[in-house]
Amino acid sequence: MATLRLGDIAPDFTAETTMGEINFHEWIGDSWCVLFSHPADFTPVCTTELGTVANYYPEFEKRNTKVIALSVDGLESHLKWIKDIEETQNVTLQYPIIADESKTVANLYDMIHPNANETFTVRSVFIIAPDKKIKLILTYPASTGRNFDEILRVIDSLQLTSEYSVATPANWKDGNDVVISPSIPDHDIPAKFPKGYQQIKPYLRMTPQPNK
């Protein structure tokens, strides 16, 4: 299949999860979504990641974002693994893990990279908007756990920039100044950005975050 790219519609699927069968697009509904894959059950780095997401779950909820994990092991294995995750990370898992023994979803999302490993999925991250379009794709090696603070930061940026004619600069965090889109002429700025702006260069104009 063709490689997924930003702006593509996220492939739909029906799958068994630890919280019952889902149709992916229906399950997302009007929310944002983070789909993230794991090389296998009962692996150390994955266990810490799933625990971290459980701890961060209220932050995802505040952002109207659903999270769903995937591993190419079966449902029974997932359910046993959840007990270990909850015990070792001192959490309760509030989100589903997709059982993908057939690798159907992993192949739909190109999560198996043969030159890295022929059978296990890499650590993929997809952020999907309510319109079901893919807004971010990240790929980590199996040996590197993900930074979920960065994933939350990207969600903040995506949600902000989808509503306003702005972009977020390097190392931006929620509440910092933002960049006015180059498509906005100077004479339209006062009406669109009443908090004022600073012109550093004609193409680089900063303004306070408009929704703060």
Separation of alpha carbons 195 and 86, rounded Å: 46
Is 46 labeled as catalytic in the residue annotation?
yes
Residue 93 and residue 79 in contact, taking contact as beta carbons nearer than 8 Å: no
Residues 6+ apart with CB under 8 A from 131: none
List 46, 99, 127, 128, catalytic entry:
46
The span from the CA of 154 to the CA of 34, in Å, is 11
Per DSSP, the residues of the chain read -PPP-TTSBPPP-EEEEBTEEEEHHHHHTTSEEEEEEES-TT-HHHHHHHHHHHHHHHHHHHTTEEEEEEESS-HHHHHHHHHHHHHHHT----S-EEE-TT-HHHHHTT---TTT-SSS--EEEEEE-TTSBEEEEEEE-TTS---HHHHHHHHHHHHHHHHSSEE--TT--TTS-EEEPTTS-GGGHHHH-TT--EEEETTEEEE--TT-
Active-site amino acid positions: 46
